[in-house]
Amino acid sequence: MHCSGPQVQGCAGVLLNILASRGPTEQGVCLDALISLMLDSPSNQIDFEEYSGLEKVAELLKDVQVEEHIRLKCGEFLLLLIGHVYVKENTPIHEQMRNLLGEQCASLIWAASRFGSTLDADQRQMALQIQARRVVESLEPY
């Protein structure tokens, strides 16, 4: 299977395998590609769930040994995932997120993903980065 052409179904699993087994450069690219593939693609969303995508992203996010920019990228990914893919409240993925990341972090992701829709592109990117940092910090003990 390859992930090119008009049909990119099934690619989420391939990307999740790369995400779990490669270095920071590949991980960052995989997170960007995953969110793009999942927008408006129920089959890729199903693959993401079947391949335990949320668990893999949460594992990277929580691992303090992972490079900070990848942890931040995971935070951005989760914000975009909830803000643009799993928009409806109280879906199974929201419960999974609470179980994997804790109530405080999951609530922050949910609330922050709703902010910024009226901002221009540059402001949205800056807001996304700020919120991703807050997500990472919400996991770290004080």
Mean per-residue pLDDT, 5-32: 84
Residue 8 vs residue 78, higher pLDDT: 78
Contacts of residue 12, defined as CB under 8 A and 6 or more positions apart, other chains included, come to 34, 37, 38, 44, 45, 47, 48, 51, 53
Residue 2 vs residue 120, higher pLDDT: 120
Domain coordinates in residue numbering, the chain? 11-139
% of the chain at pLDDT higher than 90: 56
Binning pLDDT at 50, 70 and 90, where does residue 25 land? Answer: very high
pLDDT at 42: 87
Distance CA 82, CA 123 (A): 19
pLDDT at 21: 92
pLDDT digits (tens, 9 = 90+) for 93-102: 888 999 999 9
Binning pLDDT at 50, 70 and 90, where does residue 141 land? Answer: low
User: In 3D, which of 70, 82, 62 has the Cα closest to residue 30?
Assistant: 70
pLDDT at 69 over 80: yes
Mean per-residue pLDDT of the chain: 86
pLDDT at 6 over 80: no
For helices 53-62 and 121-139, what crossing angle results, to 10°? 70
CB 89 within 8 Å of CB 49:
no
Token pair in block for residue 76: 């951005």
CB 78 within 8 Å of CB 112:
no
b vs e for 7-26, b when ≥16 Cβ sit within 10 Å of the residue's Cβ?
A: ebeebbbbbbeebbeeeeee
pLDDT at 130: 93
CB 74 within 8 Å of CB 61:
yes
* Angstrom distances, CA of residue 90 to CA of 48, 74, 85, 101: 18, 21, 13, 16
